[in-house]
């Protein structure tokens, strides 16, 4: 072996050793994530920046289906095998697994000032700082304005009720032979806002869950009737069992639906898929005798107790929650900001689409009008128990398996049974 | 073996000799400890040594989980680990069985369990009947000397190779409101049919798709049985001028009976366990019209916010008992036949 070759070999081995040493020194964080639109790409961009500034920390974004967030993640967490961070929507339901970041972040005051109201959703006691909202969402309807114009039917105006919108949508669909006049996501969360508008209280005087009351019956009776008279298609609420979620976003994007009750998270998708094919328009939440409210909600990025690197997680959360980074995130994803400073100052949304801008303004403008009951319900730890009982039993009534009165009895029994099971220690 | 001997061997034999030595070496390695074990425990006990690896896996991955599942069924609460859960005795079973009338699921406290039981009974009855019938007809046809017999045998077996999820998704796209079937029906002026909104249609398609997907497997078993029937029996019958129906009922069916029994029992057990295809195809709907027992267990244990592992485990124990009874029936039928 020549000297030169020998030197090269020694250098190569040394370099390999150095790389291995670096690899060993590197801390890897895993973030479980799901996508509604392009937020995964935007988050990856921010993570790349973070890694460039912190070469000793590597963050892996594990993108999973939303169903895995709802069903697999809780089992993983219960088994103590979760990731370091996760994007979740069952904000209060998983709170027992969240890590309190207070000792690991640089400025707890900044977090409380800017995320204060939402921290309570993540911690029923309102003490811990566990994460921030990657998006604030508000439920509400979208309409296909072009269809209204073609049918020469006036869109109901300010203060219109659900009955007004149902009648107008049916008139448009009948005139233009559109298969689905009105579609609501098969989700209890979507029904809750309109039910509260009709007077549903959701809780009794002691703050205990009380799903079924006259307000809820008013709304569910309407939903039932609309399915029977063809205003709503049974394909969503009637075609699957239990608490399965079904959305009509594809049908709306294909101009098969006149009015679609969903929420602000659809904006990026509609801007991308529909573009200027037709005028899709977000409208304010229709009114009832008690309110004109949608439901707040959203997704949060939370730190989890399963992490073995809380300091690094704190560092990452400090970076991601910084105002300039969140402004970039909300701006590119077209999400309503869950950061009070940005909400007050406004976000420069990366879109020229007038429909998307109008929708963002409509949903952001709806936030002050959201009923306090809706906020309480969103913050309630067992809200999914209530939502699931509502959709599964209402679905059975809609297809005629049980009567509405039987459905109400079953809803109450389901909620009581699940909560009792959870509280049994 | 001497080198000179090798020259008289064929190429294949030489190849065998080359590749045989590692195998022989391996056998030698095993031979030493096995000889020692055989000397120690005696030849009559040796079968247990050979069964041990399989028994260990079976015990670890089947028997132990079975007992763990049973233990879960005696607990309540929402904790994941058994040691953290509350012992409730037979309460979960009592909750499942609490009914005003077992003939009306709506009178039961856990109405969904009983709806799932009734749906499963209906599904199993029709699915198994059609499965056995169509598998038998297909096997009889494929056993004839027809054109492109090999091609058709492959075609009927092909769906068995597909994942149940893929099968369900393909059929879902065919059957949706804007699916292929409705587009086809529209050519004849027939209005679009919403198959998954109608309970009867949903059950029909659940059965149809399941039979379509699995028929090939059972056809293959029956085809093997048909080919094992000695041809001289048919020749003798032909010489006697026996009618085709009589040949079928007097020769084919009795001699095919062992295979038919296997098909019947396997189809029955698989049918009771149905989940993935129907879950993707109909989602258990409309309402609970196609929600079967395994989906009930899955929903109870995993999709609710409060994951009720105790109740799900109790329901799965009930399902296990049913499958155990079916297996005993198979054993009894096989023994009666053998006897």
User: So what's the ipTM on this one?
Assistant: 0.81
- Per-residue pLDDT for A1 more than 50? no
Tell me the two tokens of residue B74: 């005696």
Percent of chain A with pLDDT over 70: 94
Domain identity same for B11 and B120: no
pLDDT band at B338 (very low <50, low <70, confident <90, very high): low
Q: Which residue range(s) make up the domain with B293?
A: 110-303
- Per-residue pLDDT for B12 more than 80? no
Domain identity same for B261 and B181: yes
Whether A406 sits inside 8 A of B289 (CB atoms) is no
What is residue B1's predicted lDDT score, i.e. its pLDDT?
41
- Per-residue pLDDT for B127 more than 50? yes
Tell whether B336 is covered by a domain: no
What is residue A21's predicted lDDT score, i.e. its pLDDT?
46
Residue A78 with chain B: CB contacts under 8 Å = 79-81
- Per-residue pLDDT for B45 more than 80? yes
What is residue A303's predicted lDDT score, i.e. its pLDDT?
97
Shortest alpha-carbon distance between residue B299 and chain A (Å): 8
What is residue B209's predicted lDDT score, i.e. its pLDDT?
97
Q: How many CB pairs under 8 A join A and B?
A: 112
- In tens, the pLDDT along A160-198 reads 999 999 999 999 999 999 999 999 999 999 999 999 999
Domain identity same for B169 and B288: yes
Domain identity same for B138 and B233: yes
Tell whether B25 is covered by a domain: yes
Whether B197 sits inside 8 A of A395 (CB atoms) is no
Whether B196 sits inside 8 A of A395 (CB atoms) is no
- Per-residue pLDDT for A57 more than 70? yes
Percent of chain B with pLDDT over 90: 72
- In tens, the pLDDT along A77-134 reads 988 889 999 999 989 889 999 999 999 999 999 999 998 888 988 987 778 999 999 9
What's the CATH number where B273 sits? 1.10.3720.10
Q: Is B179 on the interface with A (CB under 8 A)?
A: no
Percent of chain A with pLDDT over 90: 73
Tell whether B246 is covered by a domain: yes
Domain identity same for B179 and B299: yes
Domain identity same for B19 and B115: no
Whether A418 sits inside 8 A of B302 (CB atoms) is no
Tell whether B322 is covered by a domain: no
Domain identity same for B167 and B270: yes
Our count of domains for chain B comes to: 2
- In tens, the pLDDT along B169-218 reads 999 999 998 899 999 999 999 988 999 999 999 999 999 999 999 999 99
Residue A255 with chain B: CB contacts under 8 Å = none
- In tens, the pLDDT along A193-223 reads 999 999 999 999 999 999 999 999 999 999 9
Nearest to B213, CA basis, from B257, B254, B172: B172
- Per-residue pLDDT for B26 more than 90? no
Mutate which: B173, B176, B280, B285, vs A, most A CBs within 10 A: B285
What is residue B142's predicted lDDT score, i.e. its pLDDT?
93
For helices B111-142 and B253-272, angle between their N-to-C axes, nearest 10 degrees: 150
Q: Which domains does chain A have, with CATH numbers?
A: 3-136+297-345 (3.40.190.10), 138-296+361-423 (3.40.190.10)
Cβ atoms < 10 Å from Cβ of B173: 12
Tell whether B69 is covered by a domain: no
- Average pLDDT of chain A to the nearest whole number: 91
Pairwise CA distance, residues A38 & A35, whole Å: 7
Q: For residue A138, what are the contacts with CB-CB under 8 A and spacing of at least 6? A: A263, A264, A294, A295, A296, A297, A336, A363, A364, A366, A367, A370
Tell whether B325 is covered by a domain: no
Tell whether B68 is covered by a domain: no
Q: Which of B111, B285, B307 sits opposite A241 (nearest CB)?
A: B285
- In tens, the pLDDT along A363-381 reads 988 888 899 999 999 989 8
Tell me the CA distances in angstroms from A290 to A195, A287, B210, one per residue in order.
9, 8, 50
Domain identity same for B243 and B123: yes
- Per-residue pLDDT for B51 more than 50? yes
Tell whether B227 is covered by a domain: yes
């Amino acid at each position: 072996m020549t000297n030169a070759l020998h030197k090269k070999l020694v250098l190569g081995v040394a370099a390999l050793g150095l790389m291995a040493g670096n690899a060993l020194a590197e801390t890897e964080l895993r973030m479980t994530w799901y996508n509604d639109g392009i937020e995964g790409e935007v988050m990856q961009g921010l993570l790349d920046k973070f890694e460039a500034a912190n070469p000793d920390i590597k963050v892996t974004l594990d993108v999973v289906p939303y169903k895995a967030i709802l069903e697999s993640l809780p089992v993983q967490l219960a088994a103590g095998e979760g990731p370091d961070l996760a994007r979740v929507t069952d904000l209060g339901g998983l709170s027992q697994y969240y890590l309190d970041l207070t000792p690991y972040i640089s400025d707890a005051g900044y977090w409380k000032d800017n995320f204060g109201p939402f921290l309570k959703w993540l911690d029923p006691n309102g003490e811990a700082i566990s994460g921030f909202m990657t998006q604030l969402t508000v439920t509400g309807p979208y309409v296909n304005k072009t269809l209204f114009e073609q049918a020469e039917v006036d869109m109901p105006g300010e203060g219109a009720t659900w009955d007004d919108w149902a009648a107008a949508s049916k008139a448009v669909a009948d005139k233009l032979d559109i298969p689905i006049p009105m579609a609501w996501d098969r989700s209890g969360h979507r029904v809750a806002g309109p039910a509260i508008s009709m007077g549903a209280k959701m809780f009794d005087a002691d703050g205990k869950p009380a799903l079924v009351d006259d307000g809820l019956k008013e709304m569910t009776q309407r939903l039932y009737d609309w399915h029977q008279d063809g205003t709503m298609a049974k394909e969503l609420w009637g075609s699957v069992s239990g608490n399965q979620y079904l959305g009509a976003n594809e049908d709306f994007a294909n101009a098969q639906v006149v009015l679609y009750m969903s929420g602000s998270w659809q904006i990026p998708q509609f801007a991308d898929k529909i573009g200027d094919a037709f005028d899709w328009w977000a409208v304010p939440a229709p009114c009832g005798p008690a309110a004109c409210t949608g439901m707040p909600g959203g997704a949060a990025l939370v730190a989890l107790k399963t992490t073995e690197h809380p300091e690094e997680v704190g560092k990452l959360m400090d970076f991601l929650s910084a105002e300039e980074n969140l402004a970039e995130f909300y701006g590119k994803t077209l999400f309503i900001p869950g950061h009070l400073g940005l909400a007050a100052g406004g976000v420069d949304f990366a879109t020229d689409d007038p429909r998307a801008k109008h929708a963002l303004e409509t949903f952001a403008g709806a936030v002050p009008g959201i009923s306090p009951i809706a906020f309480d319900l969103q913050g309630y730890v067992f809200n999914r128990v209530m939502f699931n009982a509502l959709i599964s039993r209402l679905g059975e009534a809609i297809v005629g398996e049980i009567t509405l009165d039987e459905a109400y009895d079953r809803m109450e029994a389901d909620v009581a049974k699940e909560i009792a099971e959870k509280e049994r220690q | 073996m001497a080198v000179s001997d090798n020259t008289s061997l064929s190429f294949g034999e030489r190849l065998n000799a080359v590749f045989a030595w590692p195998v022989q070496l391996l056998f030698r390695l095993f031979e030493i400890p096995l000889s020692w074990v055989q000397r120690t425990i005696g030849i009559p006990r040796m079968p247990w040594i050979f069964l041990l690896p399989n028994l260990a896996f079976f015990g670890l991955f089947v028997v132990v989980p079975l007992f763990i599942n049973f233990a879960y069924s005696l607990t309540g609460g929402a904790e994941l680990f058994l040691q953290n859960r509350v012992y409730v005795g037979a309460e979960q079973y009592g909750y499942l069985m609490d009914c005003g009338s077992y003939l009306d699921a709506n009178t039961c406290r856990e109405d969904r369990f009983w709806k799932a039981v009734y749906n499963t009974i209906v599904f199993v009855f029709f699915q198994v009947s059609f499965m056995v019938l169509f598998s038998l007809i297909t096997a009889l046809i494929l056993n004839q000397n027809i054109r492109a017999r090999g091609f058709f045998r492959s075609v009927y077996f092909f769906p068995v190779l597909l994942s149940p999820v893929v099968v369900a998704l393909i059929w879902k796209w065919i059957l949706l409101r804007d699916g292929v079937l409705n587009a086809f029906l529209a050519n004849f002026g027939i209005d679009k049919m919403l198959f998954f909104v109608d309970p009867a249609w949903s059950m029909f398609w659940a059965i149809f798709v399941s039979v379509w997907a699995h028929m090939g497997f059972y056809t293959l078993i029956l085809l093997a049985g048909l080919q094992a029937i000695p041809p001289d029996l048919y020749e003798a019958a032909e010489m006697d001028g026996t009618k085709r129906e009589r040949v079928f009922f007097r020769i084919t069916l009795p001699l095919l009976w062992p295979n038919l029994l296997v098909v019947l029992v396997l189809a029955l057990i698989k049918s009771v366990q149905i989940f993935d295809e129907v879950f993707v195809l109909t989602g258990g709907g409309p309402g609970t019209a196609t929600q079967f027992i395994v989906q009930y267990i899955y929903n109870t244990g995993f999709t609710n916010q409060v994951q009720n592992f105790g109740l799900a485990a109790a329901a799965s124990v009930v399902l296990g008992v049913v499958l155990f009874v079916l297996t005993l029936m198979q054993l009894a039928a096989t023994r009666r036949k053998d006897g």
